């Protein structure tokens, strides 16, 4: 990135090669459909190129990149009238007993994180993810999807680590609740 900031086109090409898959994945998870993800991902790289002169190597490059990616995606969603804060699926206190009538992959004798989801369940999950408030969705996607720590997610979103912890927990509750409703319907 420092080389690109100094005017090296080759450095940007290398940067693109390394990170374009992660950027597209992030945009896909945040927007929920391929055409929006492509538009948003293009916008992310445009903003990275424009923001290069302001880059300072004080934080991890990926943290800086996801900060731009999140802002670009949020703006894209707002521009397309799809990014407003959603009405929370849960009202306060709902689901407090911690029991959701949903059968997610992972029988008791298997690790639920290692199981490949069926296409139908993945589609339901993608829909439920898209209905999360953007702030919850971003926190959850960055942590569970892109592997950022709570501290890094906090830097990207500009919030405290405690706020990240709460957002991710709330995202989990909402997703489980929504998937349970799908099962009940």
Partner 1 sequence: MGCRDIHETISACVDGEASPGEAAAVREHLASCERCRVLERQMRAVGAGVRQVRGSVPDRFREKVFARLESEGALPKRKKVFPAAWRWAAVPLAAAAGLGLFLLTSRETVRGPVPPGPGTARVETSAPHAPSPQVDPAALSTEDREMLALLDILEDPAAFDANDDAEGMELLAPGDSADSPNPPRGGRSEAWPGIHSVS
Binding site for partner 1 (CB under 8 A): 4, 7-9, 12, 16, 20-21, 24-25, 27-29, 34, 37-38, 41-42, 45-46, 49-50, 96-100, 102, 104-106, 108, 111-117, 121-122, 125-126, 129, 140-141, 143-145, 149-150, 165-166, 168-169, 172-173, 175-176, 179
Surface-to-core class of residue 67, CB atoms within 10 Å of its CB (0-12 exposed, 13-18 middle, 19+ buried) = middle
- With a CB cutoff of 8 Å and minimum separation 6, the contacts of 19 are 62, 65
Reference 69, options 37, 41, 31; nearest CA is 41
Q: For partner 1, which is the closer residue by CB, 9 or 56?
A: 9
- With a CB cutoff of 8 Å and minimum separation 6, the contacts of 31 are 37, 40, 73, 76, 77, 82, 130
CB of 57 to partner 1, least distance (A): 19
Q: For partner 1, which is the closer residue by CB, 56 or 98?
A: 98
CB of 3 to partner 1, least distance (A): 10
CB of 104 to partner 1, least distance (A): 4
Total Cβ atoms within 10 A of residue 63: 18
Q: For partner 1, which is the closer residue by CB, 87 or 108?
A: 108
Q: For partner 1, which is the closer residue by CB, 81 or 114?
A: 114
Alpha-helix residue ranges (DSSP H) falling in 80-159: 119-130, 134-140, 150-157
């Amino acid at each position: 990135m420092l080389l690109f900031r100094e005017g090296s086109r080759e450095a940007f090409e290398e940067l693109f090669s390394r990170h374009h898959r992660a950027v597209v994945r992030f945009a896909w998870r945040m927007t929920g459909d391929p055409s929006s993800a492509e538009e948003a991902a293009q916008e992310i790289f445009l903003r990275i190129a424009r923001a290069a002169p302001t880059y300072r190597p004080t934080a991890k490059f990926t943290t800086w990149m996801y900060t731009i990616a999140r802002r670009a995606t949020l703006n894209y969603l707002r521009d397309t009238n799809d990014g407003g804060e959603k009405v929370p699926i849960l009202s306060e206190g709902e689901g407090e007993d911690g029991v959701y009538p949903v059968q997610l992959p992972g029988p008791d004798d298997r690790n639920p994180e290692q199981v490949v989801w069926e296409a139908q369940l993945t589609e339901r999950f993608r829909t439920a993810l898209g209905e999360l408030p953007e702030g919850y969705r971003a926190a959850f996607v960055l942590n569970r999807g892109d592997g950022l720590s709570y501290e890094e997610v906090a830097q990207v979103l500009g919030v405290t680590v405690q706020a990240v912890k709460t957002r991710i927990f709330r995202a989990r509750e909402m997703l489980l609740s929504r998937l349970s409703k799908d099962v009940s319907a």
